[in-house]
Structure 1
Amino acid sequence: MAARHDLATDPGLQEELLQARRGTAFFARKLNELTDAELDGGSLLPRWTRRHVVAHVGYNARAVARLVEWAATGVETPMYPSTEVRDHEISFGATLSPIALRNLFDHSAVHLSVEWRDLPDRDWASEVKTIQGRTVPASETVWMRTREVWIHAVDLGNGATFADVPAPVLERLLRDITGAWHARGTDAGLMVRVPGTDLEFGDTGAEDPTIVSGPLPAVVEWASGRGTGGVTASGPGATCGVPAAPKWI
């Protein structure tokens, strides 16, 4: 009989699983606050309605679950055959009836949670591959899902803000985003700071950097390309106000 509790025993992983499930519950709450007609409205993402956001989050759960199944069985099961297939899937999902769209989110979230629950300790280190081609341990799937549900709950444009996202999630998001910039070299001449913390990222070798700073939720909102409210900028790149953040993903 399948376990009714997580087989994972690592305390850190257990905490990450809790954060992912809390994010899923938060997304579900914001989704359930929307009427069926409001699903047709625009999201905070360009060219995407709320329907697209829900479809993306639902199909993402299925894709992440495939990676967990890969770790459990050793049989390669990619997230998607290609990015084109993923994009087509989202476009199709956005055309589903409201009840089907809601069921997609609910059922896929439960499926993923069960796959995590039944994965034993020995398999969490098994290597799988993301849609971007990165080889990661199965434990990374928890963070992959965590950032999806928390960020896209905000993208629904239903009152959620980055201030609703737990600080540990925000900090890891900021490290992820600035790390991606650094890997691509797109953070040249740019520094990001959260006053009152040790969170400082960017081009530490720049003599006169552009500095973007503000409270953690506002900085992550800016860094993820979702707004400039609450942040300030100084330096050569700030002549016209807060500059746009470099591309993240």
Structure 2
Amino acid sequence: MIDHARDLAAVREATERLLSAAAALDNAAVAAPSRLPGWSRGHVLAHIARNADALANVLEGRPMYRDAATRDADIERDAPRPLAAHLADVRDSGDRLLEAAGRPADWSRVITLRNGVTDVAARVPFRRLVEVELHHVDLGIGRTLEDLPEEFTGREIDFLVERFAGHAEVPPLALTTPDGRHWRTGRPDGTPLTVTGPAPELMGWLAGRRGGASLTTSPAGPLPVLPPL
């Protein structure tokens, strides 16, 4: 069962951890490339802040973003700012989201996200946790996918597997870890390709953060190219 209150506490903790780590940067480091192609660390920090405002919009019954162009323009506008401005914005926008989430609400209600995607409100805190944790790694300031909590990694794989389930561009896949965890995703037809490896590597591949160099396939062959999330 989804525990939105527990996930909100995890969001608060993860945000503080990110802010503490980012505070050790300087303005030059903020302008340097992140691990995401084409984005500086400033782009990543700007996205984290604007995502908090977007999810607050969702919880308060407004569209997540005005439109895709505005979302992208806001990130480009904010990316060049100095470190102090980024830290204040990430903290303040995060506080606004937590405030919106702290009001009495029906957490079983259906909400609408980007591109018409729907979900229950109770999953919004975990969606925010994913943004904070993965983008902390994307900043390239010492935290890796292997540093993420095991429970988080398993839940994120569950989430990504659900997103790719039945996707016409994803072949049938059977994902396994050395400790015996299993997932199925992709198209329901045909014999699945088995992909095996550590959970952080599987998550990184599914999330578009890694190429899956330490993953193995059976039958042996290249990993399929996954569509963007």
Using the size of structure 1 for normalisation, the TM-score is 0.82
> Counterpart of 2:52 in 1: which secondary structure?
helix
Residue 105 of structure 2 is aligned to residue 105 of structure 1 = no
Matched with 1:141 is: 124
Say if 2:161 is the partner of 1:217. no
Q: Is the 8 A contact 1:222 1:245 kept in 2?
A: no
**Residue of structure 2 aligned with 1:131, choices 111, 114, 118:** 114
Q: How many angstroms apart in 2 are the aligned matches of 1:42 and 1:244? A: 27
2:36 aligned counterpart, secondary structure: coil
1:161 aligns with 2:161: no
Inter-CA distance 212–54: structure 2 relative to 1 (3 Å threshold):
same
**Could you tell me which residue of structure 2 aligns to residue 246 of structure 1?**
226
For this pair of structures, how many residues does the alignment match? 228
- Cα 1:217–1:102 change in 2 (3 A) is same
Name 1:5's counterpart in structure 2.
none
- Cα separation, 2, equivalents of 1:94 and 1:220: 27
Aligned equivalent of 2:99, options 114, 135, 143: 114
Per the alignment, do residues 133 and 205 of structure 1 end up closer, same or farther by CA in structure 2, a change over 3 Å counting? closer
* 1:6 alignment counterpart: none
Alignment correspondent of 1:96: 81
In structure 2, stretches of 5+ residues that fail to align are none
Displacement of 1:210 in angstroms is 3.3
| Mapped contact 1:212–1:231 kept (Cα < 8 A) | no
TM-score by length of 2: 0.89
- Pick aligned residue for 1:15 from 6, 28, 32: 6
- Percent of pairs identical after alignment? 26
1:71-127, CA deviations, whole angstroms, 9 ceiling, x for partnerless residues? xxxxxx11111111101111111122332222111111111112222x21x432333
- Give the letter aligned to residue 70 of structure 2: V
Residue 53 of structure 1 corresponds to: 44
Is the 1:223–1:245 Cα contact (8 Å) retained in structure 2?
Answer: no
Question: What CA distance in whole angstroms lies between the structure 2 residues aligned with 1:38 and 1:185?
Answer: 40
- The CA deviation string for residues 181-226 of structure 1, in whole angstroms up to 9 with x for no partner, is 223233314332112233322367643x433211111211122111
| 1:143 positional shift | 1.6
Say yes or no: does 1:86 pair with 2:87: no
Task: Name structure 1 gaps, 5 residues minimum.
Answer: 1-9, 71-76
Could you say if the C-alpha distance between residues 54 and 81 of structure 1 is closer, same or farther in structure 2, counting changes exceeding 3 Å?
same
Equivalent of 1:66 in 40, 47, 57: 57
The aligned counterpart of 1:26 is 17
Contact 2:173–2:194 (8 Å) recurs in 1: yes
| C-alpha distance in 2 between matches for 1:202 and 1:115 | 34
Q: Report the aligned-residue RMSD.
A: 2.3
